[in-house]
Amino acid sequence: MEIRLLNLWTTAEGATMRLHEIAAVVTKGRLSYPTISYVDDQGKVLEAAPGYKTADQFKVYLAYYSADAYKTQTFQDFSAAYTD
């Protein structure tokens, strides 16, 4: 699994965003805490998953997105078949 840091402070047009604006983008406008946002290598938000996740739940999300499984199947189908 590869982890990349994204520059979320600057838009593609070069404008600087404030912290609350970044939060609104990565949570798709659903500002609840905690929320974990999954983004692709281009910075596109794939999902904003609100609510606390246990380590086991979080592992399934990481496997789903790191394997690019979101491109071909739903999270429900993936998680039903997921084995650690």
Summarize pLDDT for 29-41 with one digit per residue, the tens: 666 678 787 888 8
For residues 35-61, give the mean pLDDT. 84
74, 34: one domain: no
20, 58: one domain: no
pLDDT (0 to 100) of residue 74: 94
48, 58: one domain: no
Judged by phi (left if over 0) then psi (alpha if -120 to 50, else beta), residue 51 lies in left
Phi/psi of residue 47, nearest 5 degrees: -160, 145
Number of structural domains found in the chain? 2
* Parallel/antiparallel/unpaired status of strands 35-39 and 45-50: antiparallel
Confidence (pTM)? 0.63
Question: Per-residue pLDDT for 65 more than 80?
Answer: yes
26, 45: one domain: yes
26-29-32-33 Cα dihedral, nearest 10 degrees: 10
Domain that holds residue 29: 1-52
Question: Per-residue pLDDT for 46 more than 60?
Answer: yes
pLDDT band at 48 (very low <50, low <70, confident <90, very high): confident
48, 71: one domain: no
17, 46: one domain: yes
